Structure 1
């Protein structure tokens, strides 16, 4: 889906440039920050193509979070004994979120520039990974059990709206907002090791994360 969106954006911009004169066609690279209710603040990038008063745009934002935990029974033994097994435990979690938006807009002459209104759709994907390992160690012997699990959501489509103000000198300021409400279905697999051939499919829903995002970018149109 990501490659399809990028291809559509590039193809549309090239088509516009081929059919418009230099004064009618504009490009507007943008950079800024987004704030996602679940992941906090992240970098945002965008590119807009304009033809006369019409705008076609694309933006991207995303983030990932990781955590690791470990513990060992050795940390609690004041005097180690050779025949005492050492127990080790470790765990990890990973989350990643990527969002691509495509939109159209129209600008109106306002003051010393133009005010644009925009509307489109955001295509986002959410991934989760988690794992746990328990190890019992003795001199000359070590046994481990645990699991690794991963799951992905399908691309979820949500509405996006925005406004932008384009000054006559090319500098512009943009605010976009994406609405994210409702559950997100996840599918994946858990692989267990140290157990006889254990594997299990995962199907569940994420309902405690709000992915609503506000994005602010600054661009220069030329």
Structure 2
């Protein structure tokens, strides 16, 4: 999907450049940063092609975010039994997030430049890798003493709406603000394995990432030629 999105963007820009007069066609490389609650602040790049008052653009941002896990929970030793077992969980996990956006825009004369309004779609994917160690933390309780759990999961490509504005000064300098609406759950699928008493393949794994706000604010600065 990533290669298809990039290929479509570059092909469309080439078609525009081939069919436009030199005075009507513009290229606008952009650099900046994007921010979401789920992935924090990350670098962003983009490229716009302009023809007359129309704008076609592409942006990319990606980030890796890791964290250490150290928590515990209680579970029943046997269903219906009054005793509980305390399980200690430690380990780490890493999330790799990539987002590609395609959009169209139209610009209007404003002051010493042009104001463009933009709308499009973001195509994003999340990959998660986790390594966890589970220990029986209840003194005197029988049961497993230690187990290791490994997970490797990917989400499908998620498509979300994007809106934005850009102000292009007559000297070529421009400023762009984009926003993608993207909050809620995300389905993850992959494989898992458990290392305990000889090892066990957990097989297919399916779960949802809940309450993650991937909504993104992106600010870029460009120079239009």
Fold conserved between structures, TM > 0.5: yes
User: Where does residue 168 of structure 2 map in the other structure?
Assistant: 166
TM-score, with length taken from structure 1: 0.83
CA distance in 2, matches of 1:183, 1:38: 12
Does residue 119 of structure 1 match 2:119?
yes
User: Where does residue 218 of structure 2 map in the other structure?
Assistant: 215
User: Where does residue 158 of structure 2 map in the other structure?
Assistant: 156
Q: The residue matched to 1:31 in structure 2 has which SS?
A: strand
CA distance in 2, matches of 1:90, 1:119: 43
Q: 1:203 to 1:90 in 2, by over 3 A?
A: closer
CA deviation map 1:177-196 (0-9, x unaligned): 00013321111111123434
CA deviation map 1:131-157 (0-9, x unaligned): 13589xxxxxxxx85231111110000
CA distance in 1, matches of 2:159, 2:23: 35
Does residue 147 of structure 1 match 2:157?
no
Query: Structure 1 residue 202: deviation in Å?
Result: 1.2
Question: Which runs of at least 4 in structure 1 moved beyond 6 Å after TM superposition?
Answer: none
- Aligned residue pairs: how many? 197
Alignment of 1:1-222 (within 5 A): 1-68=1-68, 91-133=91-133, 145-194=147-196, 195-222=198-225
Q: 1:196 to 1:187 in 2, by over 3 A?
A: same
8 Å contact from structure 2 (residues 184, 211) kept in 1: no
Gaps (5+ residues) in structure 1? 71-88, 136-143
Q: The residue matched to 1:182 in structure 2 has which SS?
A: strand
CA distance in 2, matches of 1:20, 1:95: 42
TM-score, with length taken from structure 2: 0.82
Gaps (5+ residues) in structure 2? 71-88, 136-145
Query: Structure 1 residue 100: deviation in Å?
Result: 0.5
CA distance in 1, matches of 2:132, 2:217: 35
CA deviation map 1:11-51 (0-9, x unaligned): 00110111111111100000011111111111110000001
8 Å contact from structure 2 (residues 62, 97) kept in 1: yes
